[in-house]
Structure 1
Amino acid sequence: MSRLLPVAVRSLRDSWRGLLAWALGLTAALALYLPLFPSFGSNGSLEEIIATLPPELVDALGYNQIGTGSGYAQATFFGLIGFALIVIATTAWGASASGGAEENGRLELDLAHGIGRVAYVLESALAILVKLVALGIVIGVVVGILNGPSELGLEASGIIAATVALTGLGALSAAAALVAGAVTGRRVAGVAAGAGLAVYGYALQAVANQSEDLAWVERLSPYAWAYSQTPLESGFSWGIAAVWGTAIVFAGAAAFALRARDITG
């Protein structure tokens, strides 16, 4: 294989239909939830509904600021539905790229055609990044289109920051799946690692919200790194950079792990 970036190009070519489906799914979720805000936020009925819920549940779900446009968008999409959809997609991509490829024999075939192990992992990571950027553009554009009609009052800088934070969490789950698949050669291990990291981060954030005494737990949660500074309102933060930086480290660890392991044994 002498083409430039053959693994990345093949991955993108073979997965464009799935990428389109994910883009449509995210668009549908945004179109379903965001336009509902005016009917709730203008008369305070949403806050009245939230007031009937247990305070612990409200804090755990991040619904304490849901009466504002940014709080509503964060609670319904960026912090919940969108987060779940992005993690599901990227975890599947990462697990298939390493453990899945080894299980179905594609990895061994690529290596036999002269693709280096490190190059294989890095090109797979690049393909996932390109797909994530595409989904991020879709999210940012759709939120921008719905911002006015939905009366959310979001700034462009906040939309961009929140989108980068969301896709960063997806990149982190994908990289964790890549690492686990590279270490074990099993797709299920990659799925468990990617999904498990997302659940771990979300759960720690929920625990930290229960008490000021537990606020320190946020420092252990990638979800909190991305969202504790409310990017829809405050823009970019070091926490978002930390999420992306950790994802890059994980991708490098996956390349090292595959290079050090005998995939035929």
Structure 2
Amino acid sequence: MNGILPVFRRSLRESWRGLLGWTVGLAAVLFLYLPLFPSLGGGGQLEAMISSLPKELVDTLGYDQIATGAGYAQSTFFGLIGFLLLTIAAVLWGSAALAGAEESGRAELDLAHGIGRAQYALESALAVLVRLVWLGVFAGLVVWALNGPSELGIDDGNIVGASAALTGLAFLTASAALFAGAATGRRIWATGVGAGVAVLGYILQALARQSADLEWLNALSPYAWVYHRPPLADGVDPGGLALTWGLALALVAAAAVALRVRDLRG
């Protein structure tokens, strides 16, 4: 392997078809859900339907603001389906980047061509990040394009913030998978840790919404860091956003160190 950023370039070259599939999937979800909002009476029918559901369920799913355009987009996409899709992509890509490459023997072969271990980890992380950023930007652009026709009434700046929050959450998940993969060399551990971070974060914020006595759990949940204040309605919390991205980058750095100091399985 030669040239500038060889691992990064190869990863993108080999994954563009899969990335295209994820892009189409996001587009399908957004074009399916967002245009439905006007047909629901500007949220009136939704409000009546949600009022018939148990309050605990409504709070858990974040449906308490679903009668507004911003709340509808947040509840259906950014906080639920979009979060789920990007989390799945992040876990798959993060676990494959280092642990998957080591289990297949590709990492050992690449490193034998003079690529440093830290460089290998950082370029792999960069490739995952670029793909996740593409999905986040694409989702934001589609929401922006549908904002007027779907009568959502979302401020353009808030769409940018919500997209950055969604991408940050996904990258944090991927970074956790990268770190676990670098530390253990086992894809099953990388997958478990990455998925665990996302699932635990969602569960903790859901529990925090059930009682004022449990609100302290929000401090432990990356999901709550960026979503405790509805980003599409009120703008994203800069502190929570910085904490999410900062922790993700710290895990990438830790992955580079872990891969550097550990013997590879081959």
TM-score (norm 1): 0.98
Counterpart of 1:143 in structure 2: which amino acid? V
1:11-26 aligned at under 5 Å gives the runs 11-26=11-26
Match of 2:222 in 1: 222
Counterpart of 1:148 in structure 2 is: 148
Give the root-mean-square deviation of aligned CA atoms. Answer: 1.1
State the identity as a percent.
Answer: 61
In the TM superposition, 1:1-265 aligns within 5 A as 1-42=1-42, 44-236=44-236, 237-264=238-265
SS of the equivalent of 1:152 reads coil
Q: How far did 1:38 drift?
A: 1.1
C-alpha distance 186-264 of structure 1, shift in aligned 2 (>3 A): closer
Compute the displacement of 1:43 (Å): 6.0
Secondary structure in structure 2 of the residue aligned to 1:15? helix
Q: Residues 43 and 170 from structure 1, CA distance in 2 versus in 1: closer, same or farther, beyond 3 angstroms?
A: closer
Distance 1:123 1:257 in 2: 15
Gap runs ≥5 in structure 1: none
CA contact 1:176–1:193 (8 Å) conserved in 2: yes
Cα shift readout 1:121-164 (whole Å, capped 9, x = no counterpart): 00011111111121122111100111111110011100000000
Query: What are the superposed Cα offsets for residues 185-217 of structure 1, whole Å, 9 maximum, x if unpaired?
Result: 111111111111100000001000001111111
After superposition, give the CA deviation of every residue in 1:206-246 in whole Å (9 maximum; x if it has no partner): 00000111111101100000111211122232101111101
Cα–Cα, structure 1 residues 38 and 258, in superposed 2: closer, same or farther, change >3 Å?
A: same
Q: Which runs of 5+ in 2 are unaligned?
A: none
* Counterpart amino acid of residue 153 in structure 1: G
Cα gap change, 1:164 to 1:43, in 2 (>3 Å): closer
Cα offsets for 1:49-98 (capped at 9, x unmatched): 11111100000110011001111111000000000000100111110001
Shift of 1:41: 4.2
Cα distance in 2 between the residues matched to 1:148 and 1:41: 16
For the Cα contact (< 8 Å) 2:69–2:153, is it kept in 1?
yes
Cα distance between partner residues in 1 of 2:234 and 2:57: 25
Instruction: Return the letter of the residue paired with 1:99.
Output: A
Give distance in 2, aligned partners of 1:41 and 1:240.
Answer: 33
Aligned residues: 265
Q: Which amino acid aligns with 2:166?
A: L
Q: CA deviation at 1:264?
A: 3.3
In structure 2, the residue corresponding to 1:53 is in which secondary structure? coil
Do the aligned residues in 2 keep the contact of 1:41 with 1:68 (CA within 8 Å)? no
